[in-house]
Amino acid sequence: MKPVIGITPSIEKNESTYTVHRAHCDAIKQAGGLPLILPYGTKNVPTLLAQHIDGLYITGGYDIDPHYFNEEPHPQLGQIDPLRDKFELALVHEMIALKKPILGICRGSQIINVALGGTMYQDLSSQKGEPLIQHIQNRPLHYPSHYIKVEKSSFLYRIVKHNNIKVNSNHHQANNQLGRNLRVSAISEDGVIEAIEREGELFVIGVQWHPERLIERQDEASQLLYAYFVSEARKVMK
């Protein structure tokens, strides 16, 4: 039996079309999991879905409504998806309550943080207040762009086994203050948070880059991350 990994999609065209990049599903399958794209829903839908999946995989996408971290919209805030925000935030809480693993990619890392009470930079270039490296790379995403430093005391370091890895980058937002029981596990040269993780034994990791695209070029750190996530999901299979 393969662990079922619930994948959250984006929503397009006036909330009528779900979309998810094939690379996400391919990465889960390559790691030994069974990808399942989750439909949005409110009320008891997140509760029911969390009960039937073994791991939650939150993909990238559009911006997050700053209402959830008590800020007004910044002029550079992009498109937001109210249905997606509400659904994913609820699903994070349900999965943690059930002690099931979560892996968040780019926006997914930010959703984990906001769900646990953290804040974000709505727009890095205008809000962080110091020189930045390029965080929206001018090359295909299956090529890495910049280096990050992985904290040696982190769970992430135990997985990737290196404290200096090269990643891709496609974001204008990032995590700022961290939420409850979260810690920084990697940063870029300019101090932007590149990975977060929940303290304790439960696998809850968010990465700011897109490892699903780097797997296309057999990136070792990305392969190790997905393999570990799926192995943690396998532990909770009924």
By annotation, the residues acting in catalysis are: 106, 210, 212
Give the C-alpha separation, 76 to 42, whole Å.
29
Nearest 5°: phi and psi at 196?
-130, 160
Give the C-alpha separation, 77 to 63, whole Å.
7
Cβ atoms 92, 161 nearer than 8 A: no
Neighbouring residues of 1: CB distance < 8 A, sequence distance ≥ 6: 237
Q: Which of 115, 55, 129, 48 is nearest to 84 (CA)?
A: 115
DSSP string, 14-40: TTTEEE--HHHHHHHHHTT-EEEEPPP
